[in-house]
Structure 1
């Protein structure tokens, strides 16, 4: 099917033709035949790199050409940025008088972001979309096309319930809206399509042929062929990797843990470096300088050394800038190998000639090392083969015995992906959504709630009988903790606390624990508030190591009056969980007391990215405490706004004014403060030359530009 034959405005057709896309892939043609351009719902369950995004683009642009508005929902912030940058290319398409406008929203969860309504395409995470619904954002009812990327994440225990409820609410709010759902190939795609009332496009077609095989012994056993691999080193994975590079390909290596990722990248570096040409080596040195500039911990220098050799590791422990440098270096074909945890397979568009799965097992805290799901393997394998660049793609699983070879073929290569099942059926998953559904006015009685729940994917798969008891438990909890008022036959009315909790996008249990904790606290310090934050289910906790217990016990004894609700040490499970809370609180305390990132990463065995995640979540929850403090019937401390800012920047109180200057973070603010400058006025008075001597010319220019802009804004006010 040719682009020029599609029922689209000429400017849209020409945009794709001019960019080199003249003909649709077979699954794309099937989607058109299923009513994609006629406003019908479509679920496309097709492999990675088979053109799913183009389907969404065509549907959105057709809708916009008729005066509509599109919402593109993604699971990850990184993916949101990638799609936002892609859709901004539509600004040249002349179907709107002022061009197609694109907005992105992934941040604060307690804002309506009404300004986004002026855009034609809005990109948002599922959590942000949920929060926009909770905050009654007016433009949500104007959406005419909804795209749900990675809809198979309904199967995720963490993200699935929010995605499911958000979709259910959107279908309730905009019943005439077109839904385009994009998915990996899963076992029960028809089940999801039936729930969405969507036409189903299911295909295994790929633009680049994928060969899947298992390495054992002297080579790779593909389904119908065998490829011998030269034994250049004593490590089979390195040999497979070097074979890829010798054919001018790039390689993605998937490992089971961060430690293994870093370890293999370091091992691969010296042998990969020998394959690099002088021009590539010179370009890599520029990346090395960028990595060092944007890093503060030991991992920075490990990453820099790997990248110097043409290799990188990629996992959630890296800071955001390091991840972007690695991704862009790989896209530019400077970095030849990325060793990653499976998270890379799910979220980012980084295909390679060959994918090596070094370890198909992953650590589970409850069961130890467990084989990964077939769906996860298919996501990894799907990254093999760059469309229009590689003649083929290869996915290789490393085996350790002949029996394992047979098992891997049976359980992964020849296996179908698992069925997707709803994860909505627990109190933990439903509690926040029951409250938000009542606050949002979608339902106000038990019967109304059950009617709404009857539209969920869970009910589609299982009926509503199992949900009734769970909904009742949630309602009882919300009434007990003063978030709902039970008015008998009239139903439930949200209280001021309930409305606030929903708007803040925190778990009702978090709010209950915070309120109860402050009531029990003997006196309130920074540690008290941080411990309250770390007690909540919204906070991510550090793992305990055997060597932690003695030091944490001593800390608890020393600070017992500042900690909330200390359980008995004889209740082993409760006390261990409590110690994990304390350990996490102390990490965040180190952060706001300006301990270096290097010190924190070493002490707690975490990455730079982890430090910012812990601080970011704590900042969000401290903001929630600040807002909740406005409730008239509860006494709250007045230190939370300052603590919120300290968590955002990792600073002591005296730096709070300096970090308001754009480009001045915790380190440079400390340099300025120690040199006698306490606020913006002090910096402005000192002048350019003095500040340049302290922080360098480039940043000094940005600082004074920012000060000038702030002064102009003051004049306008």
Structure 2
């Protein structure tokens, strides 16, 4: 099937938005020829990475939009949301609005959590939606986000049964079972635009004992072919050590013509902390040093802007290799001719465990760049020949694991979904709750299992009753003559995206405090699952963290990442920058701003908890503390940073130091004598001072 056979308006829009696409590939043809564009059935489209799933989704979306309908495109991660928003914005040239919520958009790109929220409290908007497209649908079996999209799909079908669902997925083993739950047609195809060659290499083949030497050989070959490579390892520390090792080995083999581009990337990386008012941290220096030779590491301990630079420069061909943790396999479109999987185990609470075959397939799927490569290579690295045979059988020839619902395993998901059902008046008693859960993927799997179907109802009843007991004990639900209802605290949780564990911990802290101790509150927040943690970098002494906490009246025995985060955030609101925090505590300080931003929001949530509990005395202090986290300042600078947009803490402190708290007597010309204060900012500061 060629593009010309499409409806005229649909063809015109596709050609305008995707001019490089002239024909459909075999996988896309198979989907379209199944009647996909004209059918009203739900669909699961399971084709390999880079085979054009997004185009198939957007074809159905445009058709719905042309018919006057509304569309939601749901994705698991913010990074994918931003990428798709940028891609779909071209549709606005054809009169459609593109945004993040169906209230104001014809096509809304939403993360799973936001979509879940409208299934709970925005039924009028949900009922206007004609088509729901779920990208990365295979994540329904993932522990944290899987239950969210599973229950959101269940609830959306109850609220808007006429809404069509199109799920874009990697191939899963039990696809027919999933299709049975979703009442969907399945189209599977194995076409890849770039053929994938999978191989297991071992160190003995290269007369070495070091896996990193094998990776150097792969990169040397890539250098000869003018191609690139992605290397996956298990930890942040390993991404750094591998990047440094490889960069050092190839530095004399990089052509001078390419070194100029690498140096420019290195300089961009160093500019990131400087623009934020901090000297480069040791991690920044290490990253810039390896980038000079075309190799960069990528993990959650970097500044977000540095990660964006690495991704953009890799796409532009200005980096040879990225070493990364497996999290890079989700959320970022970074195809490469070669993918290297050095570590096939990861650390869990049960010790080291093999990664699933599914994860191996996802990482391998990054190999091969459409429009650039005629073949992609995935290399799994073994130590010995015997180990290579085992890995070949387990991963290359093995089958992907069946996908199972994680709803019951994730206790917080159960709590939140029960609260959601009761808060939205969709359930008033255990029987109605059980009816809802029986319609989830978990319920479907239990009822259709040859081993568990006999016990499905009894097992579900047991889980629901245990959850209800916990929620009522903690004042989140209450029994009334009309049935189960949420308390004020329960409604607050239902309307937030915070976990029940976080809410309960903060409620207990609020109930037990005589007066607000901000340091103890910070420490408590760092022990909730909703605050991103700042990690220790290595095995250096943790005594500085212990001493900082002790000086704040907190005596902890075990120094873990939660303690490192608490100490770092205490320094942040005392105006320490990332460089100073890293040197003080040996942590990945580049993540401090993100942790501080989330802390500012969590403080607001704690303030709301205090309010519903009738604890009013600390409310003003909590407002101040939230602002201190957001701006990273001491209390005395709050009026200034709030009053002058984009002033920032560094310039605010310089003004305070030069002129004191009262800026009214000083002219704009005098204000400009402070470094970083230009005419426009001086005028804004002067207006603030005179107001």
TM over 0.5: yes
Deviation string, structure 1 residues 244-281 (Cα, Å, up to 9, x no partner): 12111111111111111111111222444445445543
Aligned residues of 1:3 and 1:13 also touching (Cα < 8 A): no
Give the Cα–Cα distance (whole angstroms) in 2 for the partners of residues 60 and 230 of structure 1. Answer: 53
- Name the Cα RMSD after superposition: 3.2
Query: How far apart in 2 are the matches of 1:210 and 1:325?
Result: 28
How many Å apart are 1:412 and its aligned residue?
0.6
**In the alignment, structure 1 residue 398 sits paired with structure 2 residue 381:** yes
1:491 is aligned to: 483
Residue 253 of structure 1 aligns to a residue whose secondary structure is strand
Q: Which residue of 2 aligns with 1:445?
A: 429
Determine if the alignment matches structure 1 residue 285 to structure 2 residue 263: yes
Alpha-carbon spacing, 1:558–1:596, altered in 2? closer, same or farther (3 Å)? closer
Change (3 A) 1:190 1:272: farther
**Per-residue deviation, residues 143-194 of structure 1 (Å, max 9, x unmatched):** 2111111111122212222221122222222211111111222221222222
Residue 82 of structure 1 is matched in structure 2 by 83
Match of 1:599 among 558, 567, 580: 580
1:640/1:423 Cα in 2 relative to 1: closer, same or farther (>3 Å)? same
3-state SS of 1:442 partner: coil
CA contact 1:214–1:399 (8 Å) conserved in 2: yes
Which residue, 364, 369, 375 being the options, matches 1:381? Answer: 364
- TM alignment of 1:572-611, pairs within 5 A: 576=558, 581-611=562-592
- Alpha-carbon distance, 1:612 to partner: 3.1
**Secondary structure of 1:235's partner?**
helix
Offset at residue 286 of structure 1 (A): 3.2
1:65–1:422 distance in 2 versus 1, CA, 3 Å: same
Structure 2 equivalent of residue 24 of structure 1: 24
Task: Give the unaligned 5+ runs of structure 1.
Answer: 105-112, 220-227, 570-574
Structure 1 residue 518 displacement after superposition: 2.1
Partner of 1:360: 344
Matched, 1:249 2:233: no
Q: Which residue of 1 aligns with 2:307?
A: 323
Q: In the alignment, what sits opposite 2:493?
A: 501
Determine the structure 2 residue equivalent to 1:102: 98
Aligned to 1:616: 597
Structure 2 residue runs of 5 or longer lacking an equivalent are 448-455
SS in 2 for 1:644: helix
Q: Which of residues 204, 214, 236 in structure 2 aligns to 1:236?
A: 214
User: Matched residues in 1 for 2:136 and 2:366: separation?
Assistant: 15
Retained in 2: the 8 A contact 1:34–1:199? no
Matched, 1:187 2:173: yes
1:290-309 map, 5 Å: 290-295=268-273, 296=278, 297-309=281-293
> Please, which moves more after superposition, 202-211 or 24-33?
24-33
Deviates more, 1:579-588 or 1:539-548: 539-548
CA shift digits 1:461-491 (9 cap, x unpaired): 1135222212112222222232222025x32
In structure 2, the residue matched to 1:637 is 618
Question: Once the 2 structures are TM-superposed, how far is the Cα of residue 604 of structure 1 from its aligned partner?
Answer: 4.2
| Separation of aligned partners in 2, 1:398 and 1:211 | 14
Does the CA-based 8 Å contact 2:337-2:367 persist in structure 1? Answer: yes
Name the structure 2 match of 1:667.
650
Secondary structure in structure 1 of the residue aligned to 2:612: coil
Number of matched residues?
670
Range moving further from structure 2, 475-484 or 444-453: 475-484
More deviation in 7-16 or 593-602?
A: 7-16
Instruction: Give the distance between the partners of 2:227 and 2:546, measured in 1 at CA.
Output: 53
Q: 1:476 aligns with which of 451, 469, 473?
A: 469
1:262 aligns with 2:246: no
Distance 1:345 1:289 in 2: 27
140, 156, 166: which one aligns with 2:152: 166
Question: For residues 581 and 123 of structure 2, what CA distance do their matches in structure 1 show?
Answer: 39
**Structure 2 Cα separation of the partners of residues 601 and 558 of structure 1:** 19
Pair 1:121–1:274, CA change in 2 (3 A): farther
TM-score w.r.t. length of structure 1: 0.86
Cα distance 1:552–1:37, how it changes in 2: closer, same or farther (>3 A)?
same
3-state SS of paired residue (2:498) = coil
| Residue correspondence of structure 1 range 642-661 to structure 2 within 5 A | 642-660=624-642, 661=644
